Chains A and B, each alone.
Chain A
């Protein structure tokens, strides 16, 4: 079991979701977050005061998958989120120790799907 965390551009969310559904990945948690990587933020100016390198709005996805779904999920996110410009985001794949479905109490790989 793996936990996939992806940071993507907000305007790419719809395309990423579309690709995930195509890959039959239907379970997803979405957060609105702030941050920036190599792409520096845009300067903001308020009555002449400049604020540089601002944190930008990003979307963070969390998807728990069984091992055979890792590649399809990563590929789907890539397909949906990649534009080739800086700021497209990152995908992190983390080992996942356990998973419990609250409704039934099922544990392990059956609980993920």
Chain B
């Protein structure tokens, strides 16, 4: 029987761990939906939840049809091509280049969850003003022409940044810098929300935001520790440093708020935790707990400055700070990986600047620059294309009425009964 052969080919502990981690990462997208949903006005929360949920559905299909092939099929430096179209040849045997001890499809479905959450992160930039139809087309094009190629560059067999030796354990470059830069571009081209000049709209439900942040923290154990692709010491290291960085960054932001805004805010504290999770993502498999603390403490400083000073200074309306937290946090994480990486933690990795290998820092910077430049240009092109064909922004009146009613014919909260 085939079954015994398949059984012997993989490690059951590793497989169980990666499947559970895939489920943990899946939960991050609805978690993100609540993180973002609580921050918008009450008339727009369903719009956010719907965008996140439809991404979960649409990209699950895109991924098994051709997304996985574009990102991971062994190919040229740019992308993987269509060799694994419809998961052709992606079976239950391990594929040793990516993971020798788990079925190939376990790796594929784990990666699917990353491909899903990445475009969902961008939603924070254009929240409360994008047409649903335009959003759907934009997202599918972005996943195909931005996410899939960059995932290939960094993680795919033959990818040029992988060959260069760039370190990205769980997606700091592929997920966070990529989505963060896309967020900056879309926020700039779509323009500010109508209310922006007149008043700051307070979050309509901060408890939702905290619930979402907690789900993100929880799911991030799957994201980072799962990226070890096995139930092993490296996974434990990633788990521990992930938690440590999130904690340090939450404390750091709370104290920054206390010092500069008078009181420690809950929104600041949970924003810090998310920033800490972002920053440790590329480093989780290469650094120890001390470095994780420094990474976490400092990421909140950079993100705090970005959202409180740089954003108002330049006047772009990155509504929920997708760039300010994921972009800035991701860039710091990629650089920090080049600073603090050590082969003591991961013999398969590289040493960083502080372990006597300054070259790694330059490689990390090159990866950041290449990713940011590519994401910037192609996101801009996709946006302009969609805008030219169907128009991206809702009409002013629709924006005032809210996306829940105008895009979905529903409202989140009833007044009566």
Interface set of A (CB-CB < 8 Å, partner B): 43-51
Q: Are A45 and B199 in contact (CB under 8 A)?
A: no
Most chain A C-beta atoms within 10 Å of own C-beta, residue among B200, B257, B263:
B200
Nearest CB in chain A: distance from B325 CB, A: 9
Which residues of chain A come closer than 8 Å to B321, judged between CB atoms? 47
The answer to whether A47 touches B262, judged by C-beta atoms less than 8 angstroms apart, is no
Q: Which 10 A-B pairs have the closest CB atoms?
A: A48-B308, A45-B261, A49-B200, A47-B307, A51-B200, A46-B267, A46-B202, A44-B202, A45-B265, A48-B307
Chain B residues closer than 8 Å to A44, beta-carbon distance: 202
- Interface members, chain B 182-202 (any A CB < 8 Å): 199-200, 202
Number of interface residues of B (CB under 8 A): 19
A-B contact pairs, 30 of them (CB 8 A): A43-B262, A44-B202, A45-B257, A45-B261, A45-B262, A45-B263, A45-B265, A46-B200, A46-B202, A46-B203, A46-B265, A46-B267, A47-B267, A47-B268, A47-B307, A47-B308, A47-B321, A48-B260, A48-B261, A48-B307, A48-B308, A48-B309, A48-B312, A49-B200, A49-B308, A49-B312, A50-B200, A50-B261, A51-B199, A51-B200
Query: Within 8 Å CB of A43, what residues of B?
Result: 262
Nearest A residue to B203, CB-CB: A46
> Which residues of the partner chain B approach A46 to less than 8 Å between Cβ atoms?
200, 202-203, 265, 267
Q: Say if the beta carbon of B304 comes within 8 Å of chain A.
A: yes
Give A44 to B203 CA distance when docked, in angstroms. 11
Beyond the given pairs A48-B261, A50-B200, 12 more chain A to chain B contacts, judged by CB atoms under 8 angstroms and listed by A's residue number, are A43-B262, A45-B263, A46-B203, A46-B265, A47-B267, A47-B268, A48-B304, A48-B307, A49-B312, A50-B261, A51-B199, A51-B200
How many Å from the CB of B337 to the closest CB on chain A? Answer: 26
Mask of B251-280 contacts with A, CB within 8 angstroms, 1/0: 000000100111101011001000000000
- What residues on A are CB-neighbors of B309 within 8 Å? 48
Which residues of the other chain, A, contact B263 by a CB distance below 8 angstroms?
Answer: 45
When distances are taken between beta carbons in the complex, the residues of chain A under 8 Å from B199 are: 51
Q: Which residue of B lies closest to A48 (CB)?
A: B308
Rounded to whole Å, the gap between the CB of B125 and the closest CB of chain A is 14
- B183: shortest Cβ distance to chain A, in Å? 15
Closest chain B CB from A100 CB (angstroms): 23
Interface residues in B309-362 (C-beta closer than 8 Å to A)? 309, 312, 321
The CA of A44 and the CA of B202, in the complex, are separated in Å by: 8
In the complex, the chain B residue whose C-beta lies closest to that of A45 is B261
Least CB separation from B262: chain A residue: A45
- Interfacial chain A residues near B267, Cβ < 8 Å: 46-47
- CB interface residues, B 138-156, toward A, < 8 Å: none
Measured between beta carbons, the chain A residues less than 8 angstroms from B268 are 47
Which B residues touch A49, using CB under 8 A? 200, 308, 312
Q: Which residues of B contact A45 (CB under 8 A)?
A: 257, 261-263, 265
Tell me if B271 and A47 are in contact (CB < 8 A).
Answer: yes
Q: How far is the CB of B257 from chain A (nearest CB, A)?
A: 7
Q: Mark B297-308, 1 if CB is under 8 A from A, else 0.
A: 000000010011
CA distance A51 to B265 in the complex (A): 14
| CA gap between A47 and B209 in the complex, in Å | 13
What residues on B are CB-neighbors of A47 within 8 Å?
267-268, 271, 307-308, 321
Chain A nearest CB from B397 CB (Å) reads 25
Which residues from chain A contact B261 at a C-beta distance below 8 Å?
Answer: 45, 48, 50
In Å, the complex CA distance between A47 and B253 comes to 10
> In the docked arrangement, what's the CA distance between A50 and B262, Å?
11
Q: Nearest chain B CB to A56's CB is how many angstroms away?
A: 13
Q: Which of A43, A44, A49 has the most chain B CB atoms closer than 10 A to its own CB?
A: A49
- In the assembled complex, the Cα of A103 lies from the Cα of B199 at a distance in Å of 47
Taken together as a complex, chains A and B put the C-alpha atoms of A94 and B261 apart, in Å, by 44
CA distance A87 to B417 in the complex (A): 32
Question: Smallest distance from the beta carbon of A24 to chain B beta carbons, Å?
Answer: 32
Expressed in whole angstroms, the minimum distance between the Cβ of B396 and any Cβ of chain A is: 23
Nearest residue (CB) in A for B304 is: A48
**Residues of chain A with a CB closer than 8 A to B262's CB:** 43, 45
Cα A49 to Cα B313 with chains together (Å): 12
Residues of chain B with a CB closer than 8 A to A51's CB: 199-200, 202
Q: Which residues of A contact B308 (CB under 8 A)?
A: 47-49
Nearest Cβ on chain A to B305's Cβ, whole angstroms: 9
> Bound state CA distance, A47 and B275, in angstroms?
13
CA distance A47 to B268 in the complex (A): 6
Q: Complex: how many Å from CA A72 to CA B304? A: 55
**A113, B179: Cα distance in complex, Å:** 65
The residues of B that contact A50 with a CB separation of less than 8 Å are: 200, 261
